[in-house]
Chain A
Amino acid sequence: DIVMTQTPLSLSVTPGQSASISCKSSQSLLHHDGKTFLYWYLQKAGQSPQLLISEVSNRFSGVPDRFSGSGSETNFTLKISRVEAGDVGVYYCMQSIHLLTFGGGTKVEIK
């Protein structure tokens, strides 16, 4: 099984500042077709998760450009620029190169 490890477990961010979340996989998520099967989701309180980023760095429809993803192979980062109150929730990374696995989640709060 591929294990996804997220850090930190929680973040408290001042509005307008930036936040970064790390996600490490136990195996490379780079497929031989050149795609990297790493995704980022946000789950707001009481809601279903929502897709933010596909294949490391591609924002899903309607996702503000304040959200950006980077990384390769086994190390990935989600950056939230100019954090807003509406960004609070739990962020998850997910891999789908071999079955599916979620990271443990990072809770983002506003100071």
Chain B
Amino acid sequence: EVQLVQSGAEVKKPGESLRISCEASGYDFTRYWITWVRQMPGKGLEWMARIDPTDSYADYSPSFQGHVTISVDKSTRTAFLQWSSLKASDTAIYYCARVYGRIDYWGQGTLVTVSS
């Protein structure tokens, strides 16, 4: 069974750093890219970035380039999304998902709350 299990909810202050994770199981990890999608409160889905677990090549949406970093650890089948300095506007649910053309499996989402 394909599963993407994300790390738990986080509460952070503006300016703090954060890394959230997404552990994949049930399939050949290197055959599918991992992608991250943001959903701000009450809003739609926004594509952020994707990464190829084979060689860690990554693409970013222009809207997120330079604001987040995506990475992957093949040995633990885990993908990461990190911020070096959070802003209140980063408050959202972040979904990881498996992608190969289509996104077919999604993680359960990680709620990130940034508040002073």
Q: Do A and B come from one complex?
A: yes
Q: Which residues of A contact B (CB under 8 A)?
A: 1, 35, 37, 39, 41, 43, 48-51, 54-55, 60, 90, 92, 94, 96, 99-105
Given the known interface contacts A92-B45, A101-B47, the answer about A51 and B104 at a Cβ–Cβ threshold of 8 Å is yes
The chain A residue sitting closest to B62, CB to CB, is: A1
Please, which residue of chain B has its CB at the minimum distance from the CB of A39? Answer: B102
Determine chain B's interface SS by DSSP, over half rule.
strand
Offer 14 A-B interface pairs, CB within 8 angstroms, sorted by A. Answer: A37-B101, A48-B106, A48-B108, A49-B45, A51-B103, A54-B104, A55-B101, A55-B102, A60-B104, A92-B44, A96-B101, A96-B102, A99-B59, A103-B44
Least CB separation from A94: chain B residue: B103
Nearest B-chain residue to A58, judged by Cβ = B102
